[in-house]
Every structure is written in structure tokens, then in C-alpha cells.
Amino acid sequence: MSYSEQDYIDALTQAAEIIGHAPTSDEYVSVRGQLDVSPSYSCIYNNVGGWNKAKELAGLETWGAHERISDVPQNVDIGQQEWEDLDSNRRAHIKRKHYLSKEKVERGCKKCGYADNPAAMEFHHPDQDRELSVSQNGWSLENLKNEVDKCVVLCGNCHNIEHREKDYLTF
């Protein structure tokens, strides 16, 4: 099934109406079954060129506007109190890590499709030969998100091949 740009807009708009604000990827996935037109998250993501872009296209607020650092990230196994007891830098760090892991698994390796363990996947800048330093602190979630949208996900094997193939195949 192929979708038009209008389908993506309709799906996002309807998801936003159900949820009450611009949907995060998790929220979109959770309400997708209720939509009249229901392209998958990765379908929208890949065809529009990023989740932020898709939300912009639909005229929705982009990521970050509704997410507060005080909210426990979805799927992170920690109680609200325990979460609040962490200092804010630690919480921000966990949020970034969590976001990056989720993004890796949802997208999977662009070359071979591997999408299992986030530890085996990396962000690769296809244009500039620059890697996103995942361990780097100090990124705001929003900046990180914008940067990640410019990257493709590659598994460790494909990433090595991408960078080092030349060293082995040329003489």
C-alpha cells in the first residue's frame, strides 16, 4: 500500500486529535489502530524525512514542546519517585540515551535491516562524514533530535564497511 503526502498529514492530524497534542513516535504507534488512514511510523518517517518534518508538514508542534524532563520516559523501568530523585543532568542523560536507542531500533540498519540491539547500531551522517557522538552530553533533546534526523542508522558491520571498504578494495 502506498500513501500520499495528504495521507501522512491526515494520519498525524487524527493522531494528534486523539492524543490531544502532537504525537511522539510512541504515541503515534499506540493510536495507529484507531486511524482511518494508518501508515506505519517508519513509513511516514522514511517518506517524509523525519518525524519532526512530518509534524511540520501536518502543521503540528514539533517534538519537545510537550515533553518535560520531569516525565518518566516511556518504557524506562523506573518509578516516578526514583526518577524525580535523580538529578536533572542524570535524567536528561537517560532521556537522550533512551531516545537514541528507541530511534535506532525503530529505524533499523538502513543497509541490511538489522534492528535488534541498539548497542550494535550507530548514527551515520550520510553527507558530511561526521558521526553523531551519542555519549556526548550537553545536547538538548531538541538539538539532538534535529541532528538525528539528518543521520541514517547503520549496524556496526555496515558502518564499518561504509567507512573502511575503500581501504580493502583499492590497491
The residue among 96 and 104 lying less far from Zn ion, judged by its C-beta, is 104
Q: At closest approach, how far in Å is the CB of 166 from Zn ion?
A: 18
Q: Does the protein bind Zn ion through residue 155 (CB under 5 A)?
A: yes
Q: Give residues 100-129 in contact with Zn ion (rule: CB under 5 A).
A: 109, 111-112, 114
- Residues near 3 by beta carbon (within 8 Å), at least 6 away in sequence: 37, 39, 43, 47
Q: At closest approach, how far in Å is the CB of 75 from Zn ion?
A: 24
Q: At closest approach, how far in Å is the CB of 68 from Zn ion?
A: 35
Instruction: Give the SS3 label for residue 98.
Output: helix
Strand partners for 121? 155
Q: In whole angstroms, what is the distance from residue 26 CA to residue 67 CA?
A: 12
Instruction: Give the SS3 label for residue 121.
Output: strand
Query: Which uninterrupted H or E stretch holds 94?
Result: helix 88-107
Q: How big is the site for Zn ion, counted in residues (CB under 5 A)?
A: 6
Q: Give residues 50-109 in contact with Zn ion (rule: CB under 5 A).
A: 109
Where does this chain bind Zn ion (CB under 5 A)? 109, 111-112, 114, 155, 158
